[in-house]
Structure formats: C-alpha cells, structure tokens
C-alpha cells in the first residue's frame, strides 16, 4: 500500500501554492529518473495530497478560451481577483474562499497507469464525500467533474426556481501528467460565493440546463470545512488504496 503525505496549506495564495506544488512534482520526477533502472514500486517513492483554500483567482487551462473570462484586467483588479493561465487540461474555473482545492501529486506508476481511471477516481472521492452530507453527486457523460442532478419539483416546496431544474456542477477537475506524475487536481465548492462564477463561462460550459452549485447551496446551511476535509481524506484513502502520513 502506498503512503501519501498529506499537507494542509490552509489559506494560501495561488502563486505560492503553485510554486510549492511544482517543486514537489519536479522532485518526484527527478527521483524517478534517478531510479530509472528499477521497476516502479520496487523503491520508495513520495506521493502528496495538498489541500488549500485560495483567495479569489481565475485559472485558464491550456485548451481553454480567454473569451470565457468576462472581465477586463482593470475589472479584475477592481474586484481583487487574480488570473493565471496554467498547464492543466480544461477551460476556465474559479478558486476562492469557501472552496477546498486539492492537488494530488502522485506517481501513478505506483497506483495504475490510466489517466481516465485517475480522473474517475477523483470524481469518486467527491461523490462519496457528498453522500456523507446526503447530497447526490454524479458523473455527466461528456463532462469532467461532479454534478448534482435536477431536483423533482415535488421536493422543492411551492416556490418554483429554475436553478433546481438544472444540472449543477459542484466540483471541477483539471489535471496534467508528466512521466505519470500528476499535477493540479480538483476544486470542490463548499461555502463558495457562487457570484464569482458570473464573471466567467465556468469550464467553458454555456448550456442553459447547466450551472454551478456548492455544498452549502445543496444542504441549505453553512458546512464545516474541516469536517469536509476529513471526509475527503477518508474517501481518498479508500479509493486510491493508500494511507496518509501527515507532514
């Protein structure tokens, strides 16, 4: 069973977390190259899961469209939002207060060498965590991430709100791999201010039947971030069949 070093970065700026993440990523690759004559799993390899809460920032994946950012540079500065083009897959997304961002840095040759399985495994961690809060999460064919399904009208009371008739994205996922070592990860909306998503076309998805949501919105009350973090760690160990060591 692989040991994953868990690091809680707390509240941390995007650039600082990015520099730290890429430093660990580079160290794992260098370690692999120094043992290239050996078969994976026959020598110790470090793996990490970083959890962090960023100040407001938009990030644009390498395949994304800048037109999906709906604010100009002056408007971004006025609202105190940073912007970074980065090397993950996917389009534009938001990170900010009330959101848990996870950066798994894993040598997949010690787990499984299947990118699609890796993304599905992250989705499974989120789906299981949502179930702990009695919230249904699902995969949507053709779309990465975790979604909440439309709610039946009978379960919403008398007020009609088209928001609940839509598929609602609660967790975005974007990854990058180099020599089977993972980079980037997931952004899980817990108590996130969803108004920030009005400034972008989230993940480049403009369909009228899709929107974004948060665990707070789905449950109707504020959710303890520390509790969600512990549930995420628990399900991560189950899905990836690993154990955590705190750093």
| Beta-bridge partner residues of 3 | 243
pLDDT value of position 158:
46
Helical residues (DSSP H) of 88-224, grouped into ranges: 115-132, 215-219
Pull the structure tokens for residue 229.
């973090």
Instruction: Classify 103 as helix, strand or coil.
Output: strand
pLDDT value of position 106:
98
Instruction: Classify 99 as helix, strand or coil.
Output: strand
CB-CB contact of 51 with 223 (8 Å): no
* Catalytic site positions: 203
Task: Kindly give the confidence (pLDDT) of every residue in the chain, 247 residues in length, as a single tens digit, with 9 standing for 90 and above.
Answer: 899 999 999 999 999 999 999 999 999 999 999 999 999 889 999 999 999 999 999 999 887 888 999 999 999 999 999 999 888 877 899 999 999 999 999 999 999 999 999 999 999 999 999 999 999 999 999 999 999 999 876 455 545 578 899 999 999 999 999 999 999 999 999 999 999 999 999 888 888 899 999 999 999 999 999 999 999 999 999 999 999 987 6
Q: How far is CA 134 from CA 21, 43, 169, 170, 224, in A?
A: 32, 41, 16, 14, 15
Entry pTM: 0.93
Pull the structure tokens for residue 160.
């009609």
List of domains in the chain: 2-246 (3.30.930.10)
């Amino acid at each position: 069973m692989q040991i994953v070093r868990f690091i809680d970065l707390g509240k941390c700026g995007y650039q600082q977390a990015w520099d730290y993440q890429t430093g660990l990523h580079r160290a794992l690759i260098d370690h692999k190259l120094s043992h290239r004559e050996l078969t994976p799993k026959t020598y110790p390899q470090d793996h990490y899961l970083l959890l962090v809460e960023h100040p407001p920032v938009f990030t644009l994946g390498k395949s994304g469209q800048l037109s999906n950012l709906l604010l100009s540079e002056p408007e971004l500065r006025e609202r105190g939002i940073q912007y970074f083009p980065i090397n993950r897959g996917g389009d534009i997304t938001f990170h900010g207060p009330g959101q848990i961002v996870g950066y798994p840095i894993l040598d997949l040759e010690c787990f499984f060498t299947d990118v699609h399985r890796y993304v599905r495994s992250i989705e499974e961690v989120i789906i299981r965590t949502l179930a702990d809060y009695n919230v249904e999460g699902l995969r949507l064919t053709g779309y990465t991430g975790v979604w909440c399904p439309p709610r039946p009208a009978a379960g919403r009371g008398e007020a009609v709100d088209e928001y609940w008739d839509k598929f609602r994205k609660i967790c975005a996922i974007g990854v990058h791999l180099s020599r089977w070592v993972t980079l980037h990860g997931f952004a899980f909306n817990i108590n996130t201010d969803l108004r920030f998503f009005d400034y972008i076309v989230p993940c480049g998805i403009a369909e009228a039947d899709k929107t974004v949501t948060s665990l707070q919105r789905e449950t109707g009350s504020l959710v303890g971030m520390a509790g969600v973090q512990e549930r995420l760690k628990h399900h991560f160990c189950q899905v990836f069949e690993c154990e955590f060591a705190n750093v």
